[in-house]
Amino acid sequence: MPVRFGVSWDAGHMAALNEPYNRQSLIHTLQRTHAEVTDTFKALGLDDFYRHPGRGWSPAETLNHLTKSGRELRKSMRLPRIVLRLLYGKNDVPSRQYHQMRDRYQAQLARGFRAENGKSSLAPDKITTPTSQRDAEDTRKKLLQEWRDVSKALVKCVEGWHEMYLEGYRLPHPAFGKISVREMLMVAIYHDLHHLLKVRQAHPRKKSHKR
């Protein structure tokens, strides 16, 4: 089943996402997900971009959180592999499939888990609404550029990993403990999609009515 991306995403569409597993499919899905995040946050009105939905994060803060998460993953994957082996040991069990990691993540969310609870550095910076439209536009451009830079750097990093390394090395996750690098990338994909869906649900794109 092909990857399904589009403005009409809902939970069912996310569940229909193909099963990224090997390196090339993980890279492809990361790239598509990153592009969707960029397009969605870029298309939001400035008021919506900075508006807080109740006690939750604004889209601006969500984007900052996604950037921090991607930067942290890339930083971990760039460590010398001998250091990763010494710190986290060898992965000796087959990696789970994408839908299994997605379901595990959803179960953790239902229990109240938040990634930033386990690692406060992943919590977004507090971003207030700029006082002028120009400042608001400049701040969004800056946040989007930081996201693009981190996204491209993460994909480039994954491209340098052989299949056997994705399977044989582990990284720590605050909800799952030590998991394979392959599983960590699956979680990263779902994490971005999860936040993207929440923003899209809170700010649905208006349909154009052509006469």
Q: Is 99 inside any structural domain?
A: yes
Which structural domain, as residue segments, surrounds residue 46? 11-202
Q: How far apart are CA 139 and CA 189, in angstroms?
A: 25
Q: In which region does residue 6 sit, left (phi positive, over 0), alpha (psi from -120 to 50) or beta (all else)?
A: left
Instruction: Report pLDDT for 207.
Output: 54
Residue 166 DSSP class: H
Residue 44 DSSP class: S
- Please tell me the total count of domains within the chain: 1
Helix (H, G, I), strand (E, B) or coil at 16: coil
For 90, phi and psi rounded to 5 degrees?
Answer: -100, 140
Q: What is the pLDDT along the chain (211 residues), one digit of tens a residue?
A: 333 444 344 444 444 456 899 999 999 999 999 999 999 999 999 999 999 887 789 999 999 999 999 999 999 999 999 999 999 999 999 999 999 999 999 999 898 887 666 557 788 989 999 999 999 999 999 999 999 999 999 999 999 999 999 999 999 998 899 999 999 999 999 999 999 999 999 887 765 444 4
Instruction: Report pLDDT for 16.
Output: 45
Q: Is 162 inside any structural domain?
A: yes
Instruction: Report pLDDT for 117.
Output: 61
Does the model's pTM come out above 0.75? yes
Q: Is 209 inside any structural domain?
A: no
Q: Is 169 inside any structural domain?
A: yes
Residue 62's domain is classified under what CATH number? 1.20.120.450
Q: Is 35 inside any structural domain?
A: yes
Q: How far apart are CA 194 and CA 146, in angstroms?
A: 20
Query: Are 176 and 93 in contact, with CB atoms under 8 Å apart?
Result: no
